[in-house]
Amino acid sequence: MTPFIYKQLTQALARTLGTPQYLILFLSDFCWMKCRHCWFNEDWKTANLGKPTLTFDEIEKLAHSMKRVLFLSLTGGEAFTRPDLVEIVKVFSRETKMSRYQIPTSGFKTDLIISKTGQMLKNHPEIPFRVDVSLDGTEAIHEKIRSVAGGHRRALDTIRALNGLKRHHRNFDVGVITTVSHDNQHEIPQIGRLVESVNPNGEWMVNIVRGAVRDPNAHNVEIDSYLAAHKLIRDRVESGAYRGHSGHATASWLSAKNATRRKIIRKRLEGRCRGGGCAAGSLGGVIYSDGTVQACEMLDQSLGNLRDYDCDLAALWNSPAADKVRRWIQDTRCQCTQECFLSISMLIQPQHWPDIIAERLRLARGAAVRPTAAH
């Protein structure tokens, strides 16, 4: 489709839906880790976060301004450090029709994470929920990347404990995220085996380093190393050893979408994509801890600050400033490898739909040859 059509489509979606249906909400700037591949580092925070963190009351107003959110990602920093995390999820569940929510974590404080996850599962037994734990290597490399001793063992403990919860909650899923960077690119097979052993019944999401990161050398990645992870996942799918996402009726479609997304990222890294049709700013959006609203995490343009709209996201999302950013995204055929926004963009890019269906069938064939999970 042309930029003109995408401009009309994304503007119509933003107007009709009123607020982003895929929302990444930064709840805290604090993090237990100091990852070399992290763009959410001290320099970025000093340059970009001008106001204090949103209070609980402000988040309640924000939730109140949203009729529905299909997917809410509560992040940071580390969202689990937020003392009112459980209450915040309650607010979104009460004020909006929230279809799914997810929290990424380094997994560093196992007891805290398990306790809060358990409370959220108890409070919302019907809402699909996923916790994704980062695992960036075997012990030495993981801790070199994350600069915190003991982080590897604790991440593994957290993944195992979360899987313990998963056995008792059908709406709950556990994922593992690996960010491929200069430091871990040569141990992808070892990471693959580790993920398979510690999280055999879940999705392995492999991202590539992006943004102005703490250690610029992290960007020196050979594409082949990153693609090696894609091949490992593909081999597991084809042998029937890969279970992927679970916890709700459309979970397998998410795994199929991720497979197609890996192919798109490969094309982009190899310079074989024209770009265009990004749904950031229409279907998806980001709110930083100080209330700044952006189309995505990669662009500098702000749509405004929630506090200037009395925390009414619908008013901000339908402002002239937001319209301008939406037009810019389509006019420039903006493109990147940001996994979250690629996911929602695929919803409005029909050229990818046949491949998603083919990947879904591939997963179904894998499921047909493997034994039932020992749940």
Question: Minimum distance from CB of 67 to ligand SF4 (Å)?
Answer: 24
Rounded Cα distance between 277 and 350, Å, is 10
Among 121, 165, 298, 314, binds ligand SF4 (CB under 6 A): 298
Whether 291 contacts 311, CB under 8 Å: yes
Whether 360 contacts 251, CB under 8 Å: no
Spatial CA neighbour of 16 closest among 288, 246, 348: 348
Residues 100-119 that bind ligand SF4 (CB under 6 A): 106
Asked if residue 232 binds ligand SF4 (CB under 6 A), the reply is: no
* CB-nearer residue toward ligand SF4: 77 or 118: 77
Rounded Cα distance between 53 and 55, Å, is 6
Rounded Cα distance between 203 and 310, Å, is 38
Rounded Cα distance between 256 and 181, Å, is 24
Instruction: Determine the interface stretch with ligand SF4 among 13-21, 30-38, 181-189, 219-227 (rule: CB under 6 A).
Output: 30-38
Question: Minimum distance from CB of 94 to ligand SF4 (Å)?
Answer: 28
Asked if residue 33 binds ligand SF4 (CB under 6 A), the reply is: yes
Question: Minimum distance from CB of 123 to ligand SF4 (Å)?
Answer: 25
Asked if residue 185 binds ligand SF4 (CB under 6 A), the reply is: no
* CB-nearer residue toward ligand SF4: 72 or 311: 72
* CB-nearer residue toward ligand SF4: 102 or 338: 338
Rounded Cα distance between 145 and 136, Å, is 8
Partners of 172 in the beta sheet? 129
Whether 262 contacts 235, CB under 8 Å: no
Question: Minimum distance from CB of 209 to ligand SF4 (Å)?
Answer: 10
Q: Around 77, how many Cα atoms within 13 Å sit in the side-chain half-sphere?
A: 21
SS3 273: coil
Whether 313 contacts 299, CB under 8 Å: no
Dihedral, CA atoms, 154, 156, 160, 162, nearest 10 degrees?
60
Asked if residue 316 binds ligand SF4 (CB under 6 A), the reply is: no
* CB-nearer residue toward ligand SF4: 32 or 242: 32
Asked if residue 295 binds ligand SF4 (CB under 6 A), the reply is: yes
Helices (H) and strands (E) in the chain, counts: 14, 11
* CB-nearer residue toward ligand SF4: 76 or 244: 76
* CB-nearer residue toward ligand SF4: 168 or 324: 324
Instruction: Determine the interface stretch with ligand SF4 among 17-25, 50-58, 190-198, 332-340 (rule: CB under 6 A).
Output: 332-340
Question: Minimum distance from CB of 213 to ligand SF4 (Å)?
Answer: 9
Asked if residue 14 binds ligand SF4 (CB under 6 A), the reply is: no
Token pair 């979408």 is found at 257
- β-pairing, 284-287 vs 71-75, is unpaired
Among 6, 22, 26, 40, binds ligand SF4 (CB under 6 A): 40
Asked if residue 278 binds ligand SF4 (CB under 6 A), the reply is: yes
Which residues contact ligand SF4 by CB under 6 A? 31, 33-35, 38, 40, 77, 106, 134, 278, 280, 295-296, 298-299, 329, 334-336, 338, 341
